[in-house]
Every structure is written in structure tokens, then in C-alpha cells.
Amino acid sequence: MLEATQICLEIDPPPGAESETLRLLDGVSFTAPQGHLMAIVGPSGCGKSTLLKVIAGIQEQSEGDLKWEGRDLKEEEDLHPGELGYVPQFSLAHDLLSVEECVACSMALRTQLPGTEDFEPKLAKILAITGLTELADRRVKVLSGGQKRRLGLALELVTNPCLLLCDEVTSGLDPKSEREITELLRLLSRENPRRVVINVTHSLASLEAFDSVLVMYQGRLVFHGPPGMLTHYFTVEHPEEVYLRLTQREARAWHESWQKKRQHYEEMLMKQPQRLVFPAETALAEEQEAAPEELPSMTSQMMTLLQRRWTVFRRDAGQVWLHLAMLFGFPLLVVIFALDGIKPLRQLSLRQESNVLLEMAQRTQHLVEQLNAGGLVSGLIMLQVVLVTLMASNNAAREVAGERLILEREKLGGLSVTAYVLSKVFFLGVFVLAQSIWMGVFVDMVTGGLPGDLLTKLLLLVLVSAAMTSVCLGISALSRTPEKATILSIYLVGFQLPLSGAVLSLPSWIEGAVNPFIAAFWAWSGSLRSMSDTAFYDAVKKVTESSLVTADLAAFVLTAHVIIGLTMAYVGSRASQWE
């Protein structure tokens, strides 16, 4: 049984508002027995979805008590993830996965059934009861609205939850689809004797299928009783007239009137006969008094997420071609800019190594070539670094923000945030290694070998790519939308070149304040400093006024960037960002 007593929720008002707090819920009390299907209805903005999020634990009430089977959910332990199912308005699944893959993945993230003999039968039963068997191989992006609602229900049924909360799963559907989803909810409330199903909706059609209807108005509960008594209580002829009737009195007056008659209607609810159940052949096997499904290990969840991410990536032809274009096109771009300077660069190297006494005219020419060579080497290193950071930004900018609502739903179902972040580290790590190493090796090979130790330069390219990837992943995790994450990441990359010291000679006090935050500076500076025992270092110093740091210090700072970025990613992924 679910019992809510005087539930209130207050939040801070928007900036500039006169009131001190906003009360979204005010004194909401109701009881829903087991095996019960309840509808929460009311005009837009009346607190329906807010109440559902409080019940789900997404938001915590400011006042009041919420109990499940006598257990106080605020003071005692919350519901086990396997006991709770939360279905948002739209199916939160990856468009490029099939229906069966989505349900199987949900089972792998929330149960230990994969690899056992019970996995396939359980998967087949979930697809059958939600009417998705014939659509098992169809990808999510081609499903209709009603089919996506069914998928959303299927994703939550993998743990056989005893409290199933549905937010607007019938909204925006045609009448036939709405009736079908409502009948499915009715079935789900019957096939598990411990289950309570609550559906938030603004539609007043198909209310006869529910055991009770709870009406909200401006954050207050104004009715909770059998659907057949709705028109009688509000003295209207049709349910559709209830919303208009509500506007004729203040919410406080409706609430006070309800409090006087509440006991009578609640007694009617407790006495109403149980409805007939649906045929057994379409229902899941009964699991009465079964313990909640035990969650899989963090490693298992991480491997499931990693496998799913690679599947989505492989099926996204646009992303695959974009990554291939950057992988092979960006190094080629560096080489194109270097073509005119490669020959003088090699000639300078030969002259420096020969120790031949130069005449005055030759010295002048040598100085010009030396300046050109220094500028070329510095520019090539910086171009590699900036292009690598650009690829890193593209890799990670939308990685978390683009699937934020999926992450929130899966966290509610017991997903480990550590497993989630680690799956991103391993997935993006492949791009970090491939893009940076190929960039360094290809440019070095075509140019005949840039000065300095190749392994040191490759290490710094890998670290600057990892640093920018981690920081952009952190930005993505902290951002509410993928568009915002993308813009911030682009700005971050845009500042790398001018503030690195390769283009602008910054005042020393600004340089010292800015450099710690510019990943490109450390990779560029450390790579140039690694040439200190070659004939090119003096040439580089003549065209570079910025201070150059050792490769060891550069590697240390870039590693710190990686750690900071991953910390941001963990904190951002852990924080709740439900809409």
C-alpha cells in the first residue's frame, strides 16, 4: 500500500520574484492499495508530474510522510531500484537500437539474468505482455508514439516492480492507442498482486479503466475517488467539463471542500470490488512476495554500457564518416601546410651539422632560413596540437548531454555512476589513442622526421587529447543540453591557439595566469622543449618569446587536466538533471 500524508514541496522562486518560496505541492494526502490502478489528472502545471517525482524519489518533499507498505521512504531506506519502475512521457531509448536490444540491455543493467537459462524466457514474456513481440527487430527511431510508450513500459518491467509510475504515457496518442495503453496499465496492475500503478495524464478519456482518479489543481488535491463519482462530485455531466469547473473556485476552497468529504470517498475506494484479470496467457509469470532483483556488478554494467555505445556508434553512419574524415584528413592538412617548408628545414639541418665556415652572405641567408625553420617547426607542432584538441572536443562534447535523460532513468533503476563514467573513458580512449598517435606518426613520416624525440611528442599528443576529451566530457556531464555542451566545448578549443603563446606574445603576468588552463600550451611547449639537444632549438627560440617548459612538467599538468575533467564528468553524471 502507498500512503501519502500532507505532502508539500517548496522551491526557491525565480530571480526577481517577490515571494520567498514557491509551493508546488500543498498538503497532498491519499492512499493507494496494492493491485490498484490510479490516474492523476488535472490542468497543465497543477503538480501532477511533480507529485509523481516525489513518489519516485527524484524530488524530496519539504513536508509530509510517504510510506510504502508501512515503510517511511523519507526516514528509512528508499525503495530498492528493482521495486520501482518510472516511465517518463517519452520512451528514453537509443534510436539506433532495436526494441529487443533495448529491453535486453535494460535487463543486463538491472538484473543478473543475462547468461542464465531464465534470460530468454523473461525477455520473451516482457515483449509479449507489452505487445512488442512482432516489433522486436524494429529500431526505436521508426516506432510510433504508442509503440514507444509500450517500450518505455517494457524497460521498467525487467525487474517486475511493485510500484510502477507512469508520467503522461498516454499523452499525444490517438484515441485507439490511448485506450490500448490504458488497458495495458490495467493489466499490469493485476498481474502482480503487490503492484500499484499510477498514471499521470491530462486526458479525461478512458477513466473508467482506472480504479481511482486523483484530481490536482494548483498544487492541491481536490478529489480522489472512483472514476464513476467524478462527475457527481464536481456536478458536471461529462468528465471533460471538470477542468472548466475547477476554474470557478480557488484551489484552497476546492481543497477544503474535499477535506470535509474525503473519508466518505476513501471508504468507497476500499470497498469497491476487484476487477477481473486479463487472460493468463498474456501475463507475466506471477512472482508473489519475490525479493527484488539483485543488481549486477559495476564491471558488468560497465561492459554492457560499453557494448551498447559501440553498437550505437557503428550504426550512426554520419558519425563514422566524420571520425574517419578527421582521422585521415587532419594529419593531411598539417602536411599540406608543411610542404613548402620541408626542403629548407632539411637543408638547415644539414648545414648545422656540417660545421662549415660560412661567409657573411651565407650567414645572412642562414639566419633567414633559421627563422623560417623555427616558425615552421613551432607552427607544425601547434597545428597538430590544436587539431587533436578539436577532434577531442568533437568526441566528447555531446557524449553525456546527448543521452542525459536516458542516464537519469537508468540511475533511478540502479545504474552505477562509476560504471557509466568508466564506460565513457574506455569508449573515448580508443579515439584518443587512434587520433593522436596517427597524427604524430603520419606527420613525422611524411616530413622526414621533425626534430625531437618522437615518443615524447606522441606522449604529449596523447595527453593533450586525453585532457581535452576529459574536460569536454566533464562539460557535457554538467550541461543540461547537448547544444550548450557543444558551444562551451567549441569556445574552449577556440581559445587554445591564441592563448597558448604560439600566436600572441602575452604579458608575463597574463601568461602565468592563463597557461594553467590552456592544454594546448603544455603539449606545444613540452614538444618544443624536447628539441633542446637538436640544432633546431635555437631556431625555435628565436621566433618564440613564450617560456617553454620541460616535457615532464607538461605531462604532469596535462595529467592533472585529465583528472580534473574526469572528476567533473563524475560529479556532473551523479547530479540529478531531470527536466
pLDDT in tens, 296-320: 999 999 999 999 999 999 999 999 9
Write the CA distances from 332 to 170, 245, 307, 328, 384, integer angstroms: 53, 70, 32, 7, 10
Q: Which triple of cell numbers denotes residue 1?
A: 500500500
Is residue 289's pLDDT more than 50? Answer: no
Is residue 279's pLDDT more than 80? Answer: no
Is residue 77's pLDDT more than 80? Answer: no
Contact present, 190 and 275 (Cβ < 8 Å): yes
> What's the half-sphere exposure (Cβ side, CA atoms, 13 Å) at 67?
13
Grid look-up 476487484 returns 274
Which pLDDT score, from 0 to 100, does residue 378 have?
74
3-state secondary structure of 399: coil
Q: Tell me the one-letter amino acid at 162.
A: C
Is residue 559's pLDDT more than 80? Answer: yes
From the number of C-beta atoms within 10 Å of its C-beta (0-12, 13-18, 19+), residue 531 rates as: buried
Q: How far apart are CA 404 and CA 451, in angstroms?
A: 45
Is residue 361's pLDDT more than 60? Answer: no
In the chain, what percentage of residues exceed pLDDT 70?
83
pLDDT band at 122 (very low <50, low <70, confident <90, very high): very high
Cα–chain center distance at 80: 22
Grid look-up 493491485 returns 35
The least confident of 47-51, 239-243, 376-380 is: 376-380
Structural domains of the chain ordered from first start: 2-275 (3.40.50.300), 317-574 (no CATH)
DSSP state of 13: P
Contact present, 127 and 120 (Cβ < 8 Å): no
The winner for highest mean pLDDT among 150-154, 365-369, 499-503, 526-530 is: 150-154
The chain-wide mean pLDDT, for the chain, equals: 85
Which pLDDT score, from 0 to 100, does residue 9 have?
93
Is residue 66's pLDDT more than 80? Answer: yes
Task: Read off the pLDDT of each residue in 467-495 and give the average, rounded to a whole number.
Answer: 93
Q: Which of 429, 29, 426 is nearest to 222 (CA)?
A: 29
> What's the half-sphere exposure (Cβ side, CA atoms, 13 Å) at 315?
14
* Higher pLDDT, residue 359 or 337: 337
pLDDT tens-place string over residues 95-105 = 999 999 999 99
Contact present, 497 and 521 (Cβ < 8 Å): no
pLDDT tens-place string over residues 415-464 = 999 999 999 999 999 999 999 999 999 988 887 777 778 899 999 999 99
3-state secondary structure of 541: helix
Grid look-up 639541418 returns 349
Is residue 475's pLDDT more than 80? Answer: yes
Is residue 86's pLDDT more than 80? Answer: yes
Is residue 197's pLDDT more than 90? Answer: yes
Q: How far apart are CA 114 and CA 112, in angstroms?
A: 6
Q: Which triple of cell numbers denotes residue 116?
A: 542464465
Q: Which of 337, 541, 319, 552 is nearest to 451 (CA)?
A: 541
Q: How far apart are CA 254 and CA 115, in angstroms?
A: 55
pTM over 0.85: yes
pLDDT band at 135 (very low <50, low <70, confident <90, very high): very high
Grid look-up 566533464 returns 474
Q: How far apart are CA 169 and CA 408, in angstroms?
A: 17
From the number of C-beta atoms within 10 Å of its C-beta (0-12, 13-18, 19+), residue 375 rates as: middle
The least confident of 276-290, 398-412, 550-564 is: 276-290
pLDDT band at 36 (very low <50, low <70, confident <90, very high): very high
